[in-house]
Amino acid sequence: MNSLEFANKIKARFGDLISEPAEFRGEISIKLADAEKISDVCQFAKSIGLDYLVDICSVDNYGEDPRWTMVYNLRAIGNGAEIRLKTDVPEEKSELPSVLPIWRTANWHEREIYDLMGIRFRGHPDLRRILMWEGYPHHPLRKDFPLAGKPTDLPGVAFTKVTPMEGGPFVTLPTGGDSIAREPRVRTPEGAEPGLSDKRLAKK
């Protein structure tokens, strides 16, 4: 079975919940209208042969509603067919069922998405932070979180400060839209502390 046949089978089973398969650069994507049904769709997908979960990704559509898009890349390890399953999650809810019972690899993927984006997974046995430390209050990959970071209280000896960005790399505006709208350029965050080099010079 190739990717299009897998997508059509899923659409045949779930009817209106699944969009028409879209094709871009040789890849088939289908969109699920209701995020709550993701568990059932994935269960069915696994049963017809899509037994390998390649990746789960979350996208922050800042400024649009629904805010989160979850992207599941599925593959049939027998013949190599791949499909992409997408679903939207609104910000007020920020929660959807976990697919951990279906593919055990989803464990760490979902923990990472919870850590960096803040989307919760119902039914995940151990949803805690994985890349940032326990007790970190923010979700860094959100568009409204600045690249330079925010100061936090870190238990132990170190601290976290805002990274000095002056004269530095490009930073984009946290809006949706293409590159032109997001205006990547060097920006000094307003009200930010001066960089370390300025402090050292100031002491002298």
Nearer to other proteins, 8 or 172 (CB): 172
Nearer to other proteins, 17 or 132 (CB): 132
Cα 32–Cα 35–Cα 38 angle in degrees, nearest 5: 75
Q: Half-sphere exposure of residue 51, counting CA atoms within 13 Å on the CB side? A: 6
Residue from the set 53, 99, 119, 127 that interacts with other proteins by CB under 8 A: 53
Which H/E stretch holds residue 12? helix 3-14
Question: Taking CB under 8 A as the rule, does residue 155 contact other proteins?
Answer: yes
Nearer to other proteins, 17 or 148 (CB): 148
Question: Taking CB under 8 A as the rule, does residue 153 contact other proteins?
Answer: no
Could you please report the per-residue DSSP string of 62-126?
Answer: TTSSS-EEEEEEEE-TTT--EEEEEEEE-TTT-EEE--TTT-TTHHHHHHHHHHHT--EEET-TT
- CA distance to 19, 37, 109, 134, 197, per residue, from 124 (Å): 27, 16, 11, 17, 45
Min dist CB 147 to other proteins, Å, is 6
Question: Taking CB under 8 A as the rule, does residue 71 contact other proteins?
Answer: yes
Taking phi first (over 0 means left), then psi (-120 to 50 degrees means alpha), and beta for anything else, what does residue 123 get? Answer: left
Interacting positions 84-113 with other proteins (CB under 8 A)? 84, 103-105, 107-109, 112
Nearer to other proteins, 43 or 160 (CB): 160
The stretch near other proteins (CB under 8 A) out of 13-21, 36-44, 78-86, 88-96 is 78-86
Residue from the set 7, 30, 70, 116 that interacts with other proteins by CB under 8 A: 116
Interacting positions 159-188 with other proteins (CB under 8 A)? 159-161, 163-165, 168-172, 176-180, 182, 184
Q: Which two tokens stand for residue 1?
A: 């079975």
The residues binding other proteins (CB under 8 A) are 24-25, 27, 29, 51-55, 57, 59-60, 71, 73, 77, 80, 82, 84, 103-105, 107-109, 112, 116, 129-133, 140-141, 143, 145-150, 154-161, 163-165, 168-172, 176-180, 182, 184, 196
